[in-house]
Amino acid sequence: MTKSSSGRNVDLLTDPVAPTLKRITIPMIYGMVLLMTFNLVDTFFVGLLGTQPLAAISFTFPITFTVISLTIGLGIGTSAVVARAVGTGDHEKAKASGTAAFYVTAVVIIVLASLGYLFTEPVFYLLGASQELMPLIRQYMDIWFLGSIGLMGPMIGNAILRAAGDTKTPSMVMGSSGLVNAVLDPVFIFGFGPIPAMGIQGAAIATLISWVFGFGLVLYILIKRDLIHRQLLSIKEILKSGSSILHIGLPAAGANMLTPIAAAVLTAIVAKYGESAVAAFGVGSRIESIACLIVLTLSMTLPPFISQNFGAGKMERVEAGYKTSIKFVMIWQVLVYLLLVATAPWIADAFAKEQAVADVIQLFIWILPLGYGLQGIIILTNSSFNALHKPMVALVLSVIRLFVCYVPLAYIGSLIYGLEGFFVGALLGNLVMACLSYYYFDKQFKASLSGNEVVS
């Protein structure tokens, strides 16, 4: 049980489903607004430096999102294990699992970031980056990899808090970190007083500092609330709790990491149309993160609700939570699309210094956001399967979505109608996969309730 932003107690196991989801999601939105502006703020200020720096930071998105997706996946595993333990009343197990999650995540991120640092140039050349852009890419990525260990605090710490039913505090942590990044970005990029202008490298330094700040803040909160152990865990305890987290976290991380891999393939396709197209596609990808803010927020608040009720055996609440969320995001994303289309010219002008870039940004906005509601169905279905401790189902659905529907249809569209066909193909990919995802969840859920144990 936790308290909502209004101060009222929220019981994920007994309170009415729709009002409960609303009360735990709204506090998260405020923090997500600032958190999701990390890349958008970087993109905006770097865009003021010119098309080449903007193209360089656009190339970094698939790689940075790969590492971020890994930590999100491990956070999903942490949330599912801790929330189920809370639902069954085993608070000691919840505490040990949360602590072990930090150890496991630290090892995984250090290994991945080290590999990324060592192979930066071969990877980005493979993505289609030119030799002229490589110095700018290295300026950003060398610092970014160094600071990526700081991701562990906000991602894992907030997952533990959400699993306990608290979405207000994670909102505060994410919002504070986002605000630090937004304030420091122009200072380090353009210089201020004794601080020299560092260009694209300054954006990476601002991000690093904001992550370290968030890490320290969430660690203090978790220790103060006795949600993690203060002392070191034994190897046996780490292996026992860590294995449960990795059982869900690794497939979830794998599913999440497929998204930036697909984005890398799409970026390579777009690169054939020139640096202006890459720069515009990078801007569009960051606009997407803001436009899908509610979906992403629900993907963080719905799983603890599902996992706690799953642990308590209240499957009718699990189904009600899933379907209520799906209905809401479909309506919401239609409204978001209308807003984006109405403001497309102003958005394009704000992020582009060249007309060619602005034109592609507008093309992106007119087509792809039509499918954001459909994308919401896919995201929430995968989140729900992870919360039900069925990570391999979510992983398989992710593979089908990205490499059977989304990327192939986008590629085929580009061959037939160029950039317009590329965007339309991606939209059709989301439509096909949304229908498959909803059908499969409904089929599996009914099978489990009828006694054919599928969701277990």
At 383-398, the pLDDT tens digits run 899 888 888 998 999 8
pLDDT at residue 34 greater than cutoff 70 = no
* Gap between the Cα atoms of 98 and 265, Å rounded: 35
Q: Has residue 11 been placed in a domain? A: no
Enter the pTM of the model. Answer: 0.73
pLDDT at residue 196 greater than cutoff 70 = yes
Q: How confident is the model at residue 162 (pLDDT cuts 50, 70, 90)?
A: confident
Q: Has residue 371 been placed in a domain? A: yes
pLDDT for residue 79: 86
pLDDT for residue 452: 46
Neighbour-count burial of 335, counting CB atoms closer than 10 A to its CB (0-12 exposed, 13-18 middle, 19+ buried): exposed
Q: How many domains does the chain have?
A: 1
Q: Has residue 56 been placed in a domain? A: yes
Q: What percent of the chain has pLDDT over 90?
A: 27
Q: Has residue 10 been placed in a domain? A: no
Full domain range(s) for residue 54: 18-448
Residues with Cβ within 8 Å of 172's Cβ and at least 6 positions away in sequence, in order, are: 31
Neighbour-count burial of 30, counting CB atoms closer than 10 A to its CB (0-12 exposed, 13-18 middle, 19+ buried): middle
Q: Has residue 12 been placed in a domain? A: no
Q: Has residue 4 been placed in a domain? A: no
* Gap between the Cα atoms of 413 and 430, Å rounded: 14
Neighbour-count burial of 23, counting CB atoms closer than 10 A to its CB (0-12 exposed, 13-18 middle, 19+ buried): buried
The residue among 27, 37, 35 whose CA lies nearest residue 5 is 27
Burial 38-48 (b: 16+ CB within 10 A, else e): bbbbbbbbbbe
Instruction: Give me the chain's average pLDDT, please.
Output: 85
Q: How confident is the model at residue 454 (pLDDT cuts 50, 70, 90)?
A: very low
Q: Has residue 58 been placed in a domain? A: yes
pLDDT for residue 266: 87
Beta bridge partners of 192: 195
Q: Has residue 453 been placed in a domain? A: no
pLDDT for residue 36: 61
